[in-house]
């Protein structure tokens, strides 16, 4: 089997380190025990070569033999199709996992990321505060009653949702949602997350060292 | 084969008519030629029964025998798995379709829907204007060079992206992006879209008539 290849940036400033979305792919691949390599694209030069692989000029993207995929959510679903560790094989379990992956992307992250983006400019009021609170409350109502999002077990949907929740957690928004905080702590306590977080931090630290040496 | 069941609201005010997201599911099912029924949930009473099916208190959701799914994006991928009319059967074509479905949900709609939401209050400036413009420009760069998003043919990704683009189009935001407008016009010209748009309008008009009669 050819190793999967996760593409990320060659370097990023300190702010996003630990949060670049290749971490989602690395995490899923570790949980699945699938071999993979990490390769880089130059962040300073997002030319035609980059846009041909990621039309929105972002990372990550994934290479699996002849198959190339961008969008972290799509990459996660593709990887999940390769390993029962990430998604059950029965149709009901697959559908449940799929719906919660999409809920992460389109019901939760669709609010949290624009909320974060707007907050970068530190406006007196964030027009998405109320909507984000509603979505986090709904999600807490779900997770107050069970340990995992989908299929009664850990799935790729938990990887994605936990990474999504890291953003409001970093901005101290989870205080009113103790069941969400407990869920996040539980998922992030998995050894695979600790490993890939350190791997990503090491990756960018090595880039710093290489720059300093030239 | 049991008919698929698309669940939507029993009634909505005039504003969202034609845009309630059951239209995405109806459209995909028409393109695929799959039989389906439409059933309703009371919009005025989103109780435990509703939250058990759609934890964010929204519609649509889909029933396919024992399988239940919420999130329009998840429902579209599930339906696409049933019909080559919506997604090619080869792994490369499937991956391409998947990545463009997720791009619609998480790269385009993640900006357009919060942009629309903020705009409802008519602020002097929308903090997402610039970001939305960037995403629309990137998407236009893709669609200026080809007719379909994925796999060199019409797929479920076009259904989703066209429905997503209807929102900025309605707010007259596509002027600077003629290739996006041309793409949208081309996809919306499909007979299946005209049918399901009319079906949704008729559905809510019938609800008005039923209310007036009581």
Place of tokens 């990503």: A200
Together in a domain, B132 and B107: yes
- pLDDT at residue B1 tops 90: no
Together in a domain, A107 and A124: yes
Specify the CATH number for the domain of residue B69: 3.40.30.10
Domain membership of residue A8 as a residue range = 4-84+192-213
Q: Which of A56, A148, A151 to mutate to test the interface with B (most CBs of B within 10 A)?
A: A56
- The C-alpha R_g of chain B, in whole angstroms, comes to 17
B-facing residues of A in 31-60 (CB < 8 A) are 51, 55-58
Query: ipTM score of the complex?
Result: 0.97
CA B191 to centroid of chain Cα atoms: 16
Together in a domain, B183 and B199: no
CA A9 to centroid of chain Cα atoms: 15
Together in a domain, B150 and B199: no
The arithmetic mean of pLDDT across residues A146-167, rounded, is: 98
Together in a domain, A153 and A202: no
The arithmetic mean of pLDDT across residues A201-213, rounded, is: 94
Specify the CATH number for the domain of residue B153: 1.20.1050.10
Q: Is A111 on the interface with B (CB under 8 A)?
A: yes
The rounded distance, in Å, linking the Cα atoms of B164 and B158 is 10
Give the count of domains, chain B: 2
The arithmetic mean of pLDDT across residues B174-201, rounded, is: 98
Contact A156, A97 (CB under 8 A): yes
Give the pLDDT band of residue B2 (cuts 50, 70, 90): confident
Together in a domain, A75 and A44: yes
Residue A48 token pair:
């035609």
Together in a domain, B183 and B103: yes
Together in a domain, A134 and A95: yes
B197 by DSSP, 3-state: which? helix
Together in a domain, B101 and B181: yes
Structure confidence by residue, pLDDT tens digits, B107-130? 999 999 999 999 999 999 999 999
The rounded distance, in Å, linking the Cα atoms of A142 and A176 is 15
Together in a domain, B183 and B108: yes
Give the pLDDT band of residue B214 (cuts 50, 70, 90): confident
**φ and ψ at residue A37, rounded to 5 degrees:** -115, 155
Together in a domain, B199 and B155: no
Q: Report which of A76, A71, A184 is spatially closest to residue B103, judged by C-alpha positions.
A: A71
Q: Would you call B105 and A107 a contact, using CB atoms and an 8 Å cutoff?
A: no
Together in a domain, A185 and A196: no
Structure confidence by residue, pLDDT tens digits, B73-84? 999 999 999 999
Compare CB distances from A102 to B71, B138, B142 and report the shortest one's residue.
Answer: B71
B-facing residues of A in 121-140 (CB < 8 A) are 121, 123, 127-128, 131, 135, 138-139
User: Could you tell me the pTM of the whole model?
Assistant: 0.98
Q: Would you call B105 and A77 a contact, using CB atoms and an 8 Å cutoff?
A: no
Contacts of B92 in chain A (CB under 8 A): 66-67
Chain B: residue nearest A113 by CA? B110
Q: Is A167 on the interface with B (CB under 8 A)?
A: no
């Amino acid at each position: 089997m050819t190793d999967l290849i996760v593409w990320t940036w060659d370097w990023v400033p300190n702010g996003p380190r630990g949060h670049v979305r290749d971490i989602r792919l690395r995490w899923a691949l570790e949980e699945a025990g699938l071999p993979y390599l990490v390769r880089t694209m130059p962040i300073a030069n997002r030319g035609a070569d980059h846009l041909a692989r990621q039309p929105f000029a972002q990372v990550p993207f994934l290479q699996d033999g002849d198959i190339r995929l961008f969008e972290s959510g799509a990459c996660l679903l593709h990887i999940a199709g390769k390993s029962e560790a990430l998604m059950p094989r029965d149709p009901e379990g697959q559908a449940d996992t799929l719906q919660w992956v999409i809920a992460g992307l389109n019901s939760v992250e669709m609010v949290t990321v624009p909320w974060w983006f707007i907050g970068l400019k530190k406006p007196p009021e964030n027009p998405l505060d109320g909507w984000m609170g509603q979505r986090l409350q709904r999600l807490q109502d779900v997770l107050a009653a069970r340990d995992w999002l989908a299929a009664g077990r850990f799935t790729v949907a938990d990887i994605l949702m936990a990474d999504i929740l890291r953003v409001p957690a970093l901005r101290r928004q989870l205080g009113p949602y103790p069941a969400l905080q407990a869920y996040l702590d539980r998922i992030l306590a998995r050894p695979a997350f600790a490993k890939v977080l350190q791997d990503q931090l090491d990756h960018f630290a090595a880039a710093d060292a290489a720059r300093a040496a030239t």
